[in-house]
Structure 1
Amino acid sequence: MTESAEKKKRNKGKKHISKHVLKAREAKEEAKKEAPQKAPSKTKKPKAVVKDPSEAMDYLKQWKHDKGAWKFNKNTQSWIIRHMYDAEKLDKAAFSLVTEYLQGLQGGTAKTWVVADATKRALRYKEYEKSQGTGGDGDSKDAEKKGTDNATKDETEDRIRWKKLSDHDKRKEYKRARKVLEVLKE
């Protein structure tokens, strides 16, 4: 066999690739090399939506005064429940509407979660109060160690937020938690 016949035999199964395709592939590989490498994320994070506290206040006012036009909104309800202890986001007037709203809260799971959260906040303040009374530095080391291993991201963020609160704001959160417990236990 001649040399050209051998080449034809070896290349028989291969397809011809156009020059423009080869150039495009090379350009793509060079672009990959030049671009900064970032770790691929397994899941896409949803963009955090920042709700305006006045929207929640309007929702509560409409629930209280105009039930005919009021329409249930799960996202707004979740936001209210998540932020009801924050005096900056929900003032005193809004919180009094929240307590009325919670009395009519539907769904056993939602009520259970709200009671558990309020209980956790009230107990956390009591532990903090004890550590302050015994000459502690304000951080209960034992309480901090309790859930660090299995803590979720939300719990960790909550601990960080709690440490940043002033004594006055910690007390406000405690009072609100007690009020929520009082309302839901009735």
Structure 2
Amino acid sequence: MTESSEKKKKRNKGKKHISKHVLKAREAKEEAKEKEPPKQTKTKKPKAVVKDPSEAIDYLKQWKHDKSAWKFNKNTQSWIIRHMYDAEKLDKAAFSLATEYLQGLQGGTAKTWVLADATKRALRYKQYEKSPGTDGEDVEKMETDKTTKDDTEDLIRWKNLSDHDKRKEYKRARKVLEVLKE
């Protein structure tokens, strides 16, 4: 290597040529960042899995009648616990299987959560029974209070239920409480 080529390398060492399109892209990105409002850090909630109720019913039937082939599935268990009060998703026979399944529920946290949820539903119905028609005020109060999105959605769903469906949910909540307190 000649002396002049070494000098050129040293001179150009810190400088790299950046294409115009790369520079334009960087500028556009910076402008977009300035226009965006600052992001708030959120904890990512797992996407709700839309499960076919027949899958959950089959899971419960297999648990009851064929334990050698049955395999625990956390997602299915969670789905059952979340939807066991909905008579459209779990019919009466499936609900009775679900209550038997809940008797063997492992884990103190899960049991505590199910008990708290059933208690909340039973108390909500008792309060509704005393003064029907005031649940709309509860929705407005919940939206202004610091509650979770799930609680607000549950209260809105509750408000849209018929009196008959509210009574069904109450009966199911009482049954869950009865089974878990044994």
| Bin of the TM-score, shorter chain as denominator length | 0.7 to 0.9
Report what 1:9 is aligned to. Answer: none
Helix, strand or coil for the counterpart of 1:125? helix
Count of equivalent residues: 169
Which stretch shifts more, 40-49 or 106-115? 40-49
- Per-residue deviation at 1:142? 6.8
Helix, strand or coil for the counterpart of 1:25? helix
Q: How does 1:25-40 map to 2 (within 5 A)?
A: 25-30=23-28, 40=39
Question: Counterpart of 2:24 in structure 1: which amino acid?
Answer: E
Report what 1:68 is aligned to. Answer: 68
- Once residues 105 and 45 of structure 1 are traced to their aligned partners in structure 2, the CA distance between those partners, rounded to angstroms, is 24
Contact 1:131–1:140 (CA under 8 A) maintained in structure 2: no
Q: 2:164 aligns with which of 164, 168, 179?
A: 168
Question: Counterpart of 2:170 in structure 1: which amino acid?
Answer: Y
- Per-residue deviation at 1:143? 9.1
Contact 1:118–1:178 (CA under 8 A) maintained in structure 2: yes
Contact 2:84–2:95 (CA under 8 A) maintained in structure 1: yes
Contact 1:115–1:184 (CA under 8 A) maintained in structure 2: yes
Which stretch shifts more, 84-93 or 38-47? 38-47
Which stretch shifts more, 176-185 or 143-152? 143-152
Contact 1:128–1:140 (CA under 8 A) maintained in structure 2: no
- Once residues 16 and 137 of structure 2 are traced to their aligned partners in structure 1, the CA distance between those partners, rounded to angstroms, is 67
Could you tell me the percent identity over the aligned residues?
A: 74
Q: 2:149 aligns with which of 153, 158, 164?
A: 153
- Once residues 96 and 67 of structure 2 are traced to their aligned partners in structure 1, the CA distance between those partners, rounded to angstroms, is 17
Unaligned runs of 5+ in 2: 1-10
In structure 2, do the counterparts of structure 1 residues 30 and 150 end up closer, same or farther at CA, with 3 Å as the change threshold? closer
The runs of at least 4 consecutive aligned structure 1 residues that moved more than 6 Å come to: none
- Once residues 109 and 54 of structure 2 are traced to their aligned partners in structure 1, the CA distance between those partners, rounded to angstroms, is 27
Unaligned runs of 5+ in 1: 1-11
Report what 2:21 is aligned to. Answer: 23
RMSD: 3.0
- Once residues 113 and 183 of structure 1 are traced to their aligned partners in structure 2, the CA distance between those partners, rounded to angstroms, is 14
Q: How does 1:43-82 map to 2 (within 5 A)?
A: 43=42, 44-82=44-82
Q: Is structure 2 residue 113 aligned with structure 1 residue 113?
A: yes
- Per-residue deviation at 1:74? 1.3
Contact 1:118–1:180 (CA under 8 A) maintained in structure 2: yes
TM-score, length of structure 2 as denominator length: 0.78
Contact 2:136–2:159 (CA under 8 A) maintained in structure 1: no
- Per-residue deviation at 1:148? 5.0
- Once residues 139 and 31 of structure 2 are traced to their aligned partners in structure 1, the CA distance between those partners, rounded to angstroms, is 49
